[in-house]
């Protein structure tokens, strides 16, 4: 899946994603509106780029409404990207699970054959790469679990919103 295709805003037939995008808009507006309820010191910490010191000015609504719309669009695109990637991953997992036993056996045989032909030096270098790859996989798993949690929360919010409308 290409990045531009995955991050695009929902098509007409993607009703669930359209609802999610609408909820993202509502959440962003609610968060920005809620800034005025926070203590000025808290808003100064939120605006600060440094951990050790607060910003001189407190965080507040952007002066240009177009900027907030642009940033909200980035968030909506990010959420669409995450949800599409998770859906593609789940679909791929289902497809792999449904693959034939012969396909899995042939793949296992190829992997075993490939591993047996590697030299010791290559194995040592690969071992270092494997450690980095394992660390990256762990980080990606954390990201994916976070995305899944967000996805579940958004689905629950969509259901609650549907119930409220009915």
> Would you state the pLDDT for residue 149?
74
Residue 150 has pLDDT above 90, yes or no: no
CA angle, corner 142, sides to 140 and 144, nearest 5? 65
pTM: 0.55
Which pLDDT belongs to residue 66?
92
* Listed range (5-19, 32-46, 56-70, 141-155) with the worst mean pLDDT: 141-155
| Helical residues (DSSP H) of 35-165, grouped into ranges | 40-47, 65-98, 101-117, 120-165
**Considering its fold, how many domains does the chain have in total?**
1
The pLDDT of residue 92: 74
Cα 34 to chain centroid, rounded: 24
Model confidence over 78-136: pLDDT tens digits? Answer: 888 888 888 887 777 655 555 544 444 444 555 455 445 444 544 555 555 667 667 66
pLDDT at residue number 5: 83
92 in Cβ contact with 76 (< 8 Å): no
pLDDT tens figures, 2-53: 778 888 989 899 888 898 889 888 888 888 888 889 899 999 998 888 888 9
- For residue 67, what are the domain limits? 3-108+117-165
Q: Are 17 and 83 in contact (CB under 8 A)?
A: yes
pLDDT value at position 94? 57
What pLDDT score was predicted for residue 86? 83
pLDDT average, residue stretch 53-82: 91
């Amino acid at each position: 899946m290409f990045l531009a295709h995955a991050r695009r805003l929902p098509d007409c037939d993607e009703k669930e994603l359209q609802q999610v995008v609408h909820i993202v808009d509502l959440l962003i507006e609610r968060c920005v509106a809620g800034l005025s309820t926070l203590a000025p010191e808290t808003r100064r910490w939120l605006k600060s780029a440094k951990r050790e010191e607060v910003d001189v000015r407190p965080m507040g609504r952007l002066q240009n409404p177009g900027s907030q719309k642009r940033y909200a669009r980035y968030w909506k695109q990010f959420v669409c990207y995450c949800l599409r990637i998770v859906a593609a991953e789940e679909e791929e997992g289902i497809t792999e699970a449904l693959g034939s036993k012969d396909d899995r056996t042939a793949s296992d045989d190829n992997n075993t054959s490939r591993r047996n032909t590697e030299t010791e030096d290559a194995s040592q270098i690969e071992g270092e790469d494997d450690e980095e790859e394992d660390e990256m996989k762990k980080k990606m798993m954390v990201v994916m679990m976070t995305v899944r949690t967000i996805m579940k929360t958004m689905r629950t919010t969509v259901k609650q919103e549907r119930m409220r409308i009915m």
